Structure 1
């Protein structure tokens, strides 16, 4: 079986949705999850396949700057999003021994990952996005080899992106979401920088890398979604690999962590609740 490790960098107070993220990780026991953080608060519900790595942001900046040969800039934690495609280059000691590594966010509730990413499927691809139109920052999967771990260097703007304090949305499409969602090609748009979507869509076009772009996550929706013992089910009919809380977390923000996450719960456009 292909070995997979998924990496998240998080700095500061843990968000309200962390228990839901970790709970869903526990239903994927043959995948390893790592949270790199400076938050040493105890997490009482940590399964064996989720590891917390205590690493100061200054350490990441110093180590990565030395490896890249110039001073990188991460003035605030959200800037780390620009670096997601470089995690394989930045953290070789973490991904060592794995066939695939990925970057992900904590505002994710996973379904059954292996039901989508079977060995037969993974053997045919080197990079996987969970949307069809651009490289997804909330989740991206890379074959663990020198080509993929260093592919971000192909952007003519990588030094600008990594040395400038400004956030460029390099991991996705330099903020061109609406145009791409409407059907435009990244190559027909004027963007400030050459983003990772440019690189991977060009690699797909040139047949340099076996890429997979498909809309298999849930984001915007009208309700009728549930978590059911490790599966994300929509309308009692469709299964998704994950649910991205991007919109829900804007309107739903409980003040306390739940004492226990049930094996089944519902997700509406405004809240998470159990029957």
Structure 2
């Protein structure tokens, strides 16, 4: 049971299948996970587990073919995923509660996340009151985020994905349809709409799933693509310090998502074992250095 000792102690499980070589910024990702007790990360990958990692990050050896086989068994569909279209995995994220059910144990919430992020203090933003009051929690305003969305770990919430209009068609076509963000958001807006005509148009005679999930999408909790694009390559730097993260204006975020900037970032100058108390995310990479 040592492998799962955090399952009984943690509130949230964040799930991320990742196939192919880990990115160079992995030490920064792992350091930022470490400082979030009460949250476990489960990474399913064909990579070897890093030599140094925090106790709340679990690496599960899994090939892409094994992942596809698991999806086929759990969802009864054939996933059209290959090494050339790994982004297609994202379309299956709303069903992770079913796909990875055996790993979720007694977690109150499970979620999906990206790894091109540095985490801040998650529970400063996702408070106990929010966890008690909502079934789905995300980091974007009125739109689910692929980089961080939580689902209450109950049969009703875990099966919501099956009410997405045309779900099986969307996930069995090789094209990436952004199911986790766009289509799941459309479903939730239809379920929570007071307009019966809008609901009828969405469900088109299909049985409406029971209950209206309570969704927390009231705040932007991370750096958007626009935020990153508006930064100057000359002076852009975001910061991680003592388990918290800050944007280039000094504002605190729940996490820094650098999906637009990773194309120009080239290196990291520290390892997990170095255990820095702070580091910068700068235009040329992640580094320990002087604060501006």
CA distance in structure 1 between the aligned counterparts of 2:112 and 2:79, rounded to whole angstroms: 19
Deviation at 1:29, TM superposition (A): 2.1
1:234 maps to 2:242: no
Partner of residue 176, structure 1: none
Partner of residue 211, structure 1: 215
**Is 1:217–1:240's contact at 8 Å kept on the other side of the alignment?**
yes
Name the SS of the counterpart of 1:81 in structure 2: helix
CA distance in structure 2 between the aligned counterparts of 1:59 and 1:224, rounded to whole angstroms: 39
Change in 2 beyond 3 A, CA 1:171/1:257: farther
Deviation at 1:79, TM superposition (A): 1.3
CA distance in structure 2 between the aligned counterparts of 1:60 and 1:224, rounded to whole angstroms: 37
Partner of residue 41, structure 2: 33
Give CA deviations for 1:16-57 in whole Å, capped at 9, x if unaligned. 1211111100111221111101112x4122011111001122
Regions of 4+ moved over 4 Å:
none
CA distance in structure 2 between the aligned counterparts of 1:113 and 1:48, rounded to whole angstroms: 17
**Is 1:248–1:271's contact at 8 Å kept on the other side of the alignment?**
no
223-232 or 80-89, larger mean C-alpha shift: 223-232
RMSD of Structure 2 on Structure 1 (CA): 2.0
1:15 maps to 2:23: yes
**Is 1:17–1:106's contact at 8 Å kept on the other side of the alignment?**
no
CA distance in structure 2 between the aligned counterparts of 1:45 and 1:117, rounded to whole angstroms: 28
Partner of residue 202, structure 1: 190
Task: Select the structure of larger CA radius of gyration.
Answer: 2
**Is 1:111–1:242's contact at 8 Å kept on the other side of the alignment?**
yes
Change in 2 beyond 3 A, CA 1:232/1:62: same
**TM-score, length-normalised on structure 2?**
0.80
1:263 maps to 2:272: no
Partner of residue 45, structure 1: 52
1:120 maps to 2:129: yes
**Is 2:265–2:282's contact at 8 Å kept on the other side of the alignment?**
no
Change in 2 beyond 3 A, CA 1:261/1:154: same
Deviation at 1:127, TM superposition (A): 0.4
**Is 2:138–2:149's contact at 8 Å kept on the other side of the alignment?**
yes
Partner of residue 188, structure 1: none
**Is 1:135–1:200's contact at 8 Å kept on the other side of the alignment?**
no
**Is 2:10–2:40's contact at 8 Å kept on the other side of the alignment?**
no
Partner of residue 164, structure 1: 173
Change in 2 beyond 3 A, CA 1:257/1:271: closer
Q: Which structure 2 residue ranges, 5 or more long, are not aligned?
A: 1-8, 195-210
Partner of residue 56, structure 1: 63
Name the SS of the counterpart of 2:276 in structure 1: coil
Deviation at 1:152, TM superposition (A): 0.9
1:71 maps to 2:78: yes
CA distance in structure 1 between the aligned counterparts of 2:283 and 2:223, rounded to whole angstroms: 12
**TM-score, length-normalised on structure 1?**
0.85
Deviation at 1:108, TM superposition (A): 1.0
Partner of residue 117, structure 2: 108
